[in-house]
Amino acid sequence: MRRIAPLLAAVLAASAGLAADPVASPAGLDGFVRTDRLPMPPDPFLAVGRTVWGATCENCHGGNKLTGAPKITSTADWAPRIAQGMDLLVAHATDGFMGPRFTEMPARGGNAALGDAEVAAAVAFMVWASGGAEAALDFARPFQTKENEHE
């Protein structure tokens, strides 16, 4: 958690005026999706996830069909994954996962420098942007409480 504290503090300051609107997430963007096409989420933890996603996850989850990764904003691709629960999605992203069609989710998105909270934030952001706003916002709440305890 301490690794994301400076980033989280900056995001909190920048997002002070944002209202928590779980339906403000994008859905079904055409073409390859880059970070600049995605809105800033209303939650500071998810905003950290947006930054991590842009630096690590975008290449595969932006719509690179060769990887087999579910594209961010594709509600059809994400719905069955979201139904499995946030804990399982975060575990797959943290530990790595081999999909049913031999598609691989490398541990930490192939970025061993990412901490657990950063991986969790990126997953929560992807879920938020892909039709699972309520699940992502519910998942984010305890992280904010834990982060605030360190201040």
| All structural domains of the chain with their residue ranges | 2-14+41-149
Q: Which helix (H) or strand (E) holds 56?
A: none
Write down the H helix ranges in the chain.
Answer: 5-14, 44-52, 58-61, 75-83, 86-95, 116-129, 133-149
Q: Answer for the pair 125, 8: CB distance below 8 angstroms, yes or no.
A: no
pLDDT in tens, the chain (151 residues): 445 544 444 444 444 444 344 445 677 889 999 999 999 999 999 999 999 999 999 999 999 888 889 999 999 999 999 999 999 999 999 999 998 877 899 999 999 999 999 999 999 999 999 999 999 999 999 987 655 554 4
Superfamily grouping for domain 2-14+41-149: Cytochrome c-like domain (1.10.760.10)
Whole-number pLDDT of residue 65: 84
Residues 75 and 143: their CA atoms lie apart, in Å, by 25
Q: Which of 48, 18, 36 is nearest to 124 (CA)?
A: 48
Cβ-based neighbours of 89, under 8 Å, separated by 6 or more: 81, 82, 123, 127
Whole-number pLDDT of residue 13: 42
Count the Cβ atoms, other than its own, within 10 Å of residue 55.
15
Residues 13 and 138: their CA atoms lie apart, in Å, by 21
Count the Cβ atoms, other than its own, within 10 Å of residue 46.
28
